[in-house]
Copies of this chain bind each other. A is one copy, B any other.
Amino acid sequence: MSILLRGGLVIYGEGFEPVRADVLIEGDRIVRVARGISAEADEVIDASGRVIIPGLINAHTHSPMTLLRGLADDLPLMEWLQNYIWPAERKLGRREVYWGALLGLIEMAKSGTTTFVDMYFHMDAVAEAVMKVGLRAFLGYGMVDLGNEEKRKAEIRETERFMKFIEELGDRRINFILAPHAPYTCSPECLRWVAERAREGILVTIHLAETREEVKEIKERYGMTPVQLLDSLGLLTPGTIAAHGVWLDERDAKILATREVTIVHCPASNMKLASGVMPLKMLLKAGVNVALGTDGAASNNNLDMLEEMKLVALLHKVHTLDPTVADAKMVLRMATVHGARALGLKAGIIKEGYLADLAVIDFRRPHLRPLNDPVSHLVYSARGGDVEDLIVAGKIVMLDGEVLGVDEEKVLDKVENIREVVI
């Protein structure tokens, strides 16, 4: 299978330089980026007047939570969780998770995301949804043992079962990731078990230092910060992808940098839940790899990485009162290259030899004109709906705004029915 994208403006290479070029894809790789490629291809896509960007990497989400979008807002975190989110989640079975994940996948595809890291339950159903749509996924069963030994054993069994399930799927786009929920919901024993698997090279994702209360609680319980705790348990590795990292001090940052951990910034969620402002400048200065995520739709309330990029830039400029912080290219790197680095993917860049994960955006739209600076427009002016085509692993996932693998209308009806009947 080969695809030729013709005549687009390509945001090329590590420097995100806009160049007029064709892009030739063979198998799951980009094989050539040049003007006037004359090769034959199975599919030719006319990209003229459009901009070709590396696919966005949503490094932290809970895709089925689209079902809970707008269910409750503007509430303190614990009230929101205890009175609205957790009771609703208890009503979600395998079927609901499947349709919720499908909705999330369609939404991600339509806003330019090619890869995502997911943590939830009934993850077989999520995997099934991913196979239909065709994104690149890292799927983790969210382990929560709350210090209960029986529960821990059950969580470990489920994790092992799910890992085997993914292995047997044999789809290179669908990957397993260990997903202990957080230092405050998982016992040290549980986290140590995860750390042993991580030592074998398996990726791990976890929530870390999201709220001030979490840090306080962990300090009281263990006499350490959450970062120090995870480090003492051997859970901080180059394959560890920790979401949020809002309440980190310089010592934490140094540990994270030394261990080559990735922190996933989720600005919309942190802002909406009033968790706080993650110390982006400090982390980058310490040399921490910072990727970007939307978190679940219940605390965002969408899965639009283009919007998320703008939020990063705006939030950190105003927070530091420094407009030079989080410039457009830096933010685009977070949403692409940094995510790819976290996941060990040769992706996030449009260049020969890289994975063919990319999005084509229609720039013939009023809010994206005139074309003073395509990268600026991408970060500051574009929005999810501007994405038209999406290619993942050299396969066309979306064409002209239509996600090919699913009946979108049916998905919209199903989730509406779930809202009416189940939630």
Q: Point out the residues of chain B lying under 8 angstroms from A273, CB to CB.
A: 317, 323
Taking a contact as CB atoms under 8 Å apart, the answer to whether B76 and A276 are in contact is no
Copy total for this chain: 2
Q: Point out the residues of chain B lying under 8 angstroms from A366, CB to CB.
A: 66, 103, 106-107, 110, 408, 411-412
Is A8 positioned at the interface, with any CB of B under 8 Å from its CB? no
Interface string of A107-146 (1 = CB under 8 A from B): 1001100000000000000000000000000000000000
Q: At the interface, is chain A mostly helix, strand, loop or mixed?
A: helix
Is A372 positioned at the interface, with any CB of B under 8 Å from its CB? yes
Interface string of A295-335 (1 = CB under 8 A from B): 00100111110010011011101101111111110000000
CA distance A366 to B68 in the complex (A): 13
Interface string of A38-67 (1 = CB under 8 A from B): 000000000000000000000000000011
Q: Point out the residues of chain B lying under 8 angstroms from A383, CB to CB.
A: 304, 307, 383-385
CA distance A277 to B322 in the complex (A): 13
CA distance A380 to B418 in the complex (A): 21
- A327 nearest CB neighbor, chain B only: B74
Is A284 positioned at the interface, with any CB of B under 8 Å from its CB? no
Is A415 positioned at the interface, with any CB of B under 8 Å from its CB? yes
Interface string of A401-423 (1 = CB under 8 A from B): 00000001101100110110001
Taking a contact as CB atoms under 8 Å apart, the answer to whether B74 and A328 are in contact is yes
Taking a contact as CB atoms under 8 Å apart, the answer to whether B372 and A71 are in contact is yes
CA distance A366 to B326 in the complex (A): 30
Taking a contact as CB atoms under 8 Å apart, the answer to whether B373 and A73 are in contact is yes
CA distance A318 to B316 in the complex (A): 12
CA distance A409 to B377 in the complex (A): 19
Q: Point out the residues of chain B lying under 8 angstroms from A409, CB to CB.
A: 364
Is A75 positioned at the interface, with any CB of B under 8 Å from its CB? yes
Q: Point out the residues of chain B lying under 8 angstroms from A274, CB to CB.
A: 317-318, 320-323, 325
Within 8 A of B (CB), among A361-392: 364, 366-367, 369-373, 376-377, 380-381, 383-386
Is A3 positioned at the interface, with any CB of B under 8 Å from its CB? no
Taking a contact as CB atoms under 8 Å apart, the answer to whether A367 and B419 are in contact is no
Binds B, one of A150-158, A167-175, A194-202, A264-272: A264-272
Taking a contact as CB atoms under 8 Å apart, the answer to whether A380 and B70 are in contact is yes
Is A254 positioned at the interface, with any CB of B under 8 Å from its CB? no
Interface string of A85-116 (1 = CB under 8 A from B): 00000000000000000010011001100000
Q: Point out the residues of chain B lying under 8 angstroms from A320, CB to CB.
A: 274
- A386 nearest CB neighbor, chain B only: B385
Q: Point out the residues of chain B lying under 8 angstroms from A395, CB to CB.
A: none
Q: Point out the residues of chain B lying under 8 angstroms from A192, CB to CB.
A: none
Taking a contact as CB atoms under 8 Å apart, the answer to whether B418 and A370 are in contact is yes
With contacts A370-B415, A370-B416, A372-B69 taken as known, whether A271 is within 8 angstroms of B315 at the C-beta atoms is yes
Given contacts A66-B366, A66-B369, A66-B370, 12 further A-B contacts (CB under 8 A): A68-B372, A69-B367, A73-B327, A73-B328, A74-B313, A75-B324, A110-B366, A272-B380, A273-B317, A274-B323, A302-B380, A367-B384
Chain A to chain B contacts (Cβ below 8 Å), 23 pairs: A69-B369, A70-B381, A73-B327, A74-B313, A74-B323, A75-B323, A75-B324, A76-B323, A103-B366, A103-B369, A271-B314, A272-B317, A273-B317, A274-B318, A301-B377, A302-B380, A303-B367, A304-B367, A304-B383, A307-B310, A364-B412, A372-B423, A383-B383
